Amino acid sequence: MSWDENKLIALQLGDRKAQEQCYIAFSPLLYTTILKICDSREVASDLLHDTFMDVFNNIASFNPQFSFIAWLKRIAINNTFNHIKRQKTALKVIEHIDSTPQSATQSNNNLLNKLLYQLPTEHRMVMWLFIVEQYSHADIAQFTDKSESYSKSIVSRSLKKLRCHAEVKKHGTY
């Protein structure tokens, strides 16, 4: 279903039909974003629910001069990042769990999927923001409350990991 900016007014008035149309139009995009970062369908479903509840409850604060999709994505990524932070503090072994293949996003041989599959959640998020969302390191630093060099080093290390993986595979075929 197509979404036009005129529906924003109805959405801001709390119209249910507009809320449903907004969900139909943007839920696949937001769900994919969250799922690629979390690599868990269960968590992605919960975070998508929270994201749309935040969108509907805070639509009055949206400035129509800015991009609506960017605003939605920001809320979704923010919720995802908060979830990662909560998990990290609640469970120290989460990095180990994250490194375990869950096959939620391993449906094809896409290079990006391969890369994301190898990374822990937090690094996966940084890589997603840098490559797919094309955020700058300055933007990522704002999101993660860390320095620009933090995300720069993650990008550098992730690329190295991908190169090494390719090397191992190349030697393995001989």
Partner 1 sequence: MEHINQAALQAPLSIEQQQHLSQCAECQENQILLQQLASCASDLTLEVPPARVWQRIEQSRSPDKTQPTNNNWRDLSATAAMLIVGMFGWLSWNNYQLQLQFTQLLATNMALESQLVVQQSISYPQAHIFSQLEAVEQQLVGALSLQKKLVLLQQREQYINQIIKLQRGNKNEYYI
Interacting residue ranges for partner 1, rule: CB under 8 A = 10, 13-16, 19-20, 23, 27-29, 31-32, 35-36, 41, 44-45, 48-49, 52-53, 56-57, 110-113, 115, 130-132, 134-138, 152, 155-156, 159, 162-163
SS3 136: coil
Those residues whose C-beta lies under 8 Å from the C-beta of residue 44, and which sit 6 or more positions away, are 31, 34, 35, 38, 104
Residue 100 region by backbone torsions, left for phi larger than 0, else alpha for psi between -120 and 50, else beta: beta
Which residue, 97 or 159, is less far from partner 1 as judged by CB?
A: 159
Least gap, CB of 149 to partner 1 (angstroms): 9
Least gap, CB of 94 to partner 1 (angstroms): 23
Residue labelled with tokens 């190349």: 170
Which residue, 53 or 91, is less far from partner 1 as judged by CB?
A: 53
Which residue, 41 or 74, is less far from partner 1 as judged by CB?
A: 41
Which residue, 94 or 132, is less far from partner 1 as judged by CB?
A: 132
Integer angstrom CA distances of residue 4 from 21, 25, 67, 125: 10, 10, 12, 29
Least gap, CB of 63 to partner 1 (angstroms): 21
How far, in whole angstroms, is CA 13 from its chain's centroid? 28
Task: Kindly compute the dihedral angle of the four CA atoms of residues 15, 19, 25, 30, in this order, to the nearest 10 degrees.
Answer: 150
Least gap, CB of 96 to partner 1 (angstroms): 25
